[in-house]
Homo-oligomer: A and B are copies of this chain.
């Protein structure tokens, strides 16, 4: 018995210590999540506030038999519609409101149509209309354009239509029910939208803007460190720390999903703050796609960074200077472009760096044109492949710069400060 008790207490202690370590782990993760983006904490409290306000409104109202059961639609609307960014919230809210209106209207019509028929046929008509409308609208959700912007609306349309058609109430009751449902949804939706927009709003458009700039910056970080890392690594092979910090560009490779959804949300947002003009959101998609193209090339370059191939020192010395120059000039140009996007200024110094990068590429080419190496081709190929890929990166940078300039002219970026310009060029 004593040993049994001992075993039990040991088991309990294990469970207890496991539980404590789990809680500590979760708390650490939560702290990290909150520190990464404090807006997450604020968003959580905003949701709590909105739900509490609507709940209490409903709670007190219920005592006077005002809204009754329908009022839970208000709470439900807040829970379901409140999203992280204003755009996503507005998108869902508008979708929900319009879909409820249309679905409710069509439902009332179907209900009235069916009520003209006899009791037996009524049931058949209702069943058939629910079947066909639900099937047709479900199929509509497969259209890519509908899926991107109105998926939630189509869902709510089916829901409202079915609930009203099959409610089994009398005609006047149905209209009364549809009205009350719509008004409660409006109350919930308005509370959500106001709290979302007025207390520390998170704009998807701004996030997209920053995300695009940071993608370009990540490419620039790789290119800045690359020259040093590549030529030193093959000389010294002890730059592990240096190489690790170059991996940031990898997140750009899979950026399409995030960008697509941010653009989709941003399109729902009204003009605000620095986005006073009709923002050309699709231009951000173009820049994103070019950034990814550049990242693919950088990924190909990166695989040579870690290879063991030894290039003869003489060749390496010869091309080290133009290659490093190309890479760093591209890096500066990209950083300028990223800064330009961040501060919404037309960056002119990016063009200077691009001209420099192009000049280095030309220099490298002419160097190669005259060079007739007396060594094994095999040994020099990896290095020359890197050089060739760098030339491709230069042309990619040019494309990105053009695209960013187009964005600048479309969304009316500020002209650069002439005083600052002078300092930079001098």
Q: Could you list which residues of chain A lie within 8 angstroms of chain B, going by C-beta atoms?
A: 29-30, 33-34, 40-41, 43-45, 47-49, 51-52, 55-56, 58-59, 62-63, 69, 72, 75-76, 79-80, 123, 126-127, 130-132, 134-136, 138-139, 142-143, 155, 158-159, 162-163, 165-168, 253-254, 256-257, 292-293, 296-297, 299-300, 303, 365-366, 368-378, 381-382, 384-385, 387-389, 392
Contact = CB atoms under 8 A, between A and B. Distances in A.
A40 B254 contact: no
Given A30-B139, A51-B131, A139-B30, A168 B377 contact: no
A389 B134 contact: no
A377 B388 contact: no
Nearest to A136: B44
A81 to B, nearest CB: 11
A39 B165 CA distance: 28
Nearest to A301: B300
Contacts of A374: 372
Contact of A48 (B48, B135, B377, B384): B135
A79 B139 contact: no
A75 B372 contact: no
A247 B166 CA distance: 50
A127 to B, nearest CB: 5
Nearest to A61: B168
A371 B377 contact: yes
Nearest to A50: B134
The CB with the most chain B CB atoms within 10 A, among A29, A76, A385, is that of: A385
Contacts of A369: 376-378
A143 B29 contact: yes
Given A48-B134, A297-B300, A385-B385, 15 more contacts: A29-B143, A34-B139, A43-B138, A48-B132, A48-B135, A51-B134, A55-B165, A63-B168, A253-B296, A254-B257, A257-B257, A296-B299, A300-B392, A372-B377, A382-B388
Nearest to A62: B168
Contacts of A371: 377
A30 B49 CA distance: 43
A281 to B, nearest CB: 19
Contacts of A131: 48-49, 51-52
A305 to B, nearest CB: 12
Given A166-B56, A297-B300, A377 B385 contact: no
Contacts of A376: 368-370, 372
B166 A75 contact: yes
Which of A40, A45, A49, A300 has the most chain B CB within a 10 Å cutoff?
A: A300
Contacts of A63: 168
A47 B134 contact: yes
B138 A44 contact: yes
Contact of A59 (B47, B56, B76, B126): B126
